[in-house]
Every structure is written in C-alpha cells, then in structure tokens.
Structure 1
Amino acid sequence: MNAPIIEIFSSFQGEGILIGRRQIFIRFAGCNLSCKYCDTIESQSVTSGTELSVEETIKKVKALETSDLHSISFTGGEPLLYVDFINEFMDKTDYNFLLETNGTLPDFLSKINQIDYVSLDIKLPEHFDNEMEYEIFEDEIKSLKLLIEHNINIYCKVVVLPSTESKTIKMILERLKDEIPKNSNIPIVIQPSSPINKWKIHTKKLFEFSEIIGDYLDVLMIPQVHKILDIE
C-alpha cells in the first residue's frame, strides 16, 4: 500500500500537550481543507508528495530513531485521507503514535485501529478565505465524541488570529458545553498564529480567550515553539 508523503523527519513537537517531545514526523500530502493560516501550503496538494510504500516508510523511520524518541506523528495535510496506510504502518511497528487531524472526517477516523494520542483542530469560520459554511464543526464534534467513547488521549487545538473575536470563542465554547461532558477532561490548547510578534498589540485578547474557555474546560495557551526555535 502506498501514500503520497512530503517528508519524514525527526524534530521536537512544537505544538499542543506533547510540546518538547522528540518525534518522527510523517507528513502526508493532500488535505480536504484550505486554511488561510496554513504554514505547510505545499501539503495541501496530493501531487506534492512522493508515493512511498508502508515498508519504505518504516525503513526511513527506523533510520531516524534516537534514544529520546517519544512517538511518531502522522501529520499533513490531512493524514486521515490515508487511514488504511496508517493502520498498516501501526500494525507493523511498535511505537507510540500521535494523529494530527482537522477532525472533519469522522467516518475515516472511526476506521483507525489504534492510536495513542490525537490532536484535533477546531476550525473557526475566519480560517477560510471564503468564510465557508461552518458545517465542518458538526464533523469535528462527531470526531470528538468518537474519541471520547474510545478513551483516546485527546486534546483540541484552536488556532487564533489577531482578528479573532471573543464572540467566536464564546460560540465554540457554548457548543462544546452542549456536546462534551465537563468530566471528559479534554484540554483545549489556544495556539496564537505565527509569527508571534504580530500579537504584541493583541495580548489582551489572549487572556480573554483563555478566560472564556477556562470557564468550562481545561485550557492552555501555547504558541508554536518550533517556530520560535527556528526548527522544522
């Protein structure tokens, strides 16, 4: 089985609750969304990747192993477009795995055989140039419920822009309160968009966002540390 892969590399996780962990990243080509803040534009097109088999991918991963390796990150693009490839890779190896997904493909997510961690992006309407219909949030909720049902270690990530308004964050929280039990203990990571210096005159907003979400759920404010360190 093959999948289009842009790159396989070793680095530190720069986002979310696994921040600072050494990982080997498998970046898939192709995405079902087109977010305007995307920092890996090349990953949106399937044609930007090189077709690799599971066996070839495993060989490349093993060549990058280090003593401090924590886990493998399936990233993209949208990795769930290649769920069968991912399942075969996991079946043939013995690592811990992180799936980084936009959460809009719950039917694909339901086919994942095993996963240790999931980072699920919650998209905002302003993330898209055309303010696309916000139906994708319904799919993200379905994915969240599915992961909770299967007791997966999950955290949600919300990328905020300097233009993001508190009312948008309130809308997200109110919906999560309706759908997600408070005792589910799902952390919500607020991630200020990079570069971080554009937040100098907007830091008050970050405190407001944190307070809104913290009213109901565990919340963390974490920028993209790999961008600050200037590493991949």
Structure 2
Amino acid sequence: MKAPIIEIFSSFQGEGLLIGERQIFVRFAGCNLNCNYCDTNDSKSVKSGKLMTPLEVTEKIKKILTPDCKSISFTGGEPSLYPEFIDEVSKNFNLNIMLETNGTLPENIDLIDKLDIVSLDIKLPEHFDGEFDESIFLNEIKSLNLLMAKSISVYCKVVILPSTKIKSFKGVVEKLYQNISNKSNIKIIIQPSSPLEDWKDINFRLFKFSEIVGQYFEVSTIPQIHKILDIE
C-alpha cells in the first residue's frame, strides 16, 4: 500500500479549535475539488506527491515527534481519499488523530477507524469558479451526521472571502441547521481568507457573518495564525 505524500512536518496548528497546539502534519497529494481560494495548490494533483508506504510515513513521524506534540493531523489535498492508509499509520501511535477534510466523501470517512477530531470545511458557492454543485453540500451533511452518530468530535470551518455574499452565506448556514441531526454539538469557525489586508476596509462584514451563524450555532472567527507567525 502506498499513497502520494507532499510533506510530513511538525508545526503549530494554525486553524480551528486546536489553534496553537503542536501537531505532526501529514499532507496528502490529490483532491476531488478545485476551490479557488486553496492555499496549497501544489497538493491538488496526485502527481505532486511522493509515493510512500505507511511504514515510511510512520518512521518519518517518529523522527520529528516531540514531547509537546499530542496529535497527528492528516491533511491535504483531501486525506479522506486514503482511509486505509490513514488507519495503517494511526495504529502505530498513541496520539490523537485529526482529519482536516472537505467532507465530500462520507463513505471514505466512514472507513477510518480511529478518529478523535475532525475539521470539516463547509463550501460556499463563491469557493468555485463554475456553477456550485449541490451534491458537495449534501455530502458534507452526510459526513457531519455520520461523525456525530459515531460520537467523534467535529467542528465546521467556513472560509469566507471578501467577495462572499451575505445572502448566500446565510442560506448555507440555514440549510446546515435544517439538515444536521445534533445541532447543539456543532461549532462553526469562520475563517477570513488570507491575506488579512484584503479585509482592511470591509472588516465590518466579519461581524455580520458572525451574527448570522450565532442565530443557530456556537461561533468563533479565527484567521490563519500560521500565516501571521510566518510558519508552515
């Protein structure tokens, strides 16, 4: 068994609920979506990765593991393309396993046996240059309900762009509320796109996005801290 790996490195988590925590990141190559705001464009194609075995990845993780690191984050690209590979690596560590996913492959996510926390991106129409495919959102809902049914900790991350429309954002949040099974267990992280200079004259809109989510869910607005710290 092999999977295309872009990089394996140690850093601070720069996004979401675990922000500031030291993690080992395993970044897969290959993605089933083509978001226009992606900040890891080199990970979209499987050809950009180096084929590695679970043993090779395990040995690399062991070499860079430090005492302050308590979790492994599988990211990408889209890591849920490789569920069996993730399980093979995870079983070698007594660490928390995090999945950073677009949530559009619920059947694959269901195959991953050991998951402690999932960061699931909710896509907006503005994230794509062409027509928005409604199946993307429906599969994200399936993944959320599946994870909550298995009592796996999960939160949603929504990247907002300066071009994100209030109306379409509100529509997605309302649909999310209407379709998930356990509304009280979901927290929404609003993540303004980088660079933050793009928000200099329109940051008042961040408050409006937060107010919309706050009608239905717990909400926080958190930028990409690793960009601010200038680390990977």
Q: TM-score range by the shorter chain?
A: over 0.9
| Structure 1 residue 68 displacement after superposition | 0.6
In structure 2, the CA distance between the partners of 1:121 and 1:183, relative to structure 1 (3 Å rule), is closer
Q: Which residue of 2 aligns with 1:114?
A: 114
Residues 27 and 74 of structure 1 are in contact (CA less than 8 Å); yes or no, is this contact kept in structure 2? Answer: yes
Q: Which residue of 2 aligns with 1:51?
A: 51
Residues 104 and 143 of structure 2 are in contact (CA less than 8 Å); yes or no, is this contact kept in structure 1? Answer: yes
Q: Which residue of 2 aligns with 1:86?
A: 86
Letter in 2 for 1:150: K
In structure 2, the CA distance between the partners of 1:93 and 1:132, relative to structure 1 (3 Å rule), is same
Residues 79 and 99 of structure 1 are in contact (CA less than 8 Å); yes or no, is this contact kept in structure 2? Answer: yes
CA distance in 2, matches of 1:218, 1:47: 39
Look up the SS of the partner of 2:115 in the other structure.
coil
Q: Which residue of 1 aligns with 2:222?
A: 222
Q: Which residue of 2 aligns with 1:156?
A: 156
Look up the SS of the partner of 1:120 in the other structure.
strand
What runs of 5+ residues in structure 1 fail to find an aligned partner? none
Q: Residues 198-223 of structure 1, C-alpha deviation per residue, up to 9 Å, x if partnerless?
A: 10111111100000000110000000
Q: Which of 219-228 and 179-188 deviates more? A: 179-188
CA distance in 2, matches of 1:183, 1:6: 35
* Mapping for residues 182-193 of structure 1, pairs under 5 Å: 183-193=183-193
> Is 1:34 aligned to residue 31 of structure 2?
no
Residues 177 and 183 of structure 2 are in contact (CA less than 8 Å); yes or no, is this contact kept in structure 1? Answer: no
> Is 1:141 aligned to residue 127 of structure 2?
no
Q: TM-score, normalised by structure 1?
A: 0.97
Q: Which residue of 2 aligns with 1:73?
A: 73
CA distance in 2, matches of 1:200, 1:185: 33
Residues 191 and 223 of structure 1 are in contact (CA less than 8 Å); yes or no, is this contact kept in structure 2? Answer: yes
Percent identity between matched residues is 59
Q: Residues 48-69 of structure 1, C-alpha deviation per residue, up to 9 Å, x if partnerless?
A: 0001111110000000111110
Q: Residues 114-158 of structure 1, C-alpha deviation per residue, up to 9 Å, x if partnerless?
A: 100000000001101113323200000000000110111111000
Q: Residues 19-43 of structure 1, C-alpha deviation per residue, up to 9 Å, x if partnerless?
A: 0000010000000001000000000
What runs of 5+ residues in structure 2 fail to find an aligned partner? none
Look up the SS of the partner of 2:208 in the other structure.
helix
CA distance in 1, matches of 2:85, 2:158: 27
Q: Which of 84-93 and 139-148 deviates more? A: 84-93
Letter in 2 for 1:121: D
CA distance in 1, matches of 2:4, 2:125: 29
Q: Which residue of 1 aligns with 2:203?
A: 203
| Structure 1 residue 182 displacement after superposition | 5.8
Residues 182 and 216 of structure 1 are in contact (CA less than 8 Å); yes or no, is this contact kept in structure 2? Answer: no
Q: Which residue of 1 aligns with 2:178?
A: 178
| Structure 1 residue 47 displacement after superposition | 0.4
Q: Which residue of 2 aligns with 1:25?
A: 25
Letter in 2 for 1:109: I
Q: TM-score, normalised by structure 2?
A: 0.97
Q: What is the CA RMSD across the aligned residues, in angstroms?
A: 1.0
Residues 10 and 64 of structure 1 are in contact (CA less than 8 Å); yes or no, is this contact kept in structure 2? Answer: yes
Q: Which residue of 1 aligns with 2:103?
A: 103
| Structure 1 residue 180 displacement after superposition | 2.3
Look up the SS of the partner of 1:37 in the other structure.
coil
Q: Which of 197-206 and 127-136 deviates more? A: 127-136
CA distance in 2, matches of 1:47, 1:146: 31
Residues 125 and 134 of structure 1 are in contact (CA less than 8 Å); yes or no, is this contact kept in structure 2? Answer: no
Look up the SS of the partner of 1:55 in the other structure.
helix
Letter in 1 for 2:227: K
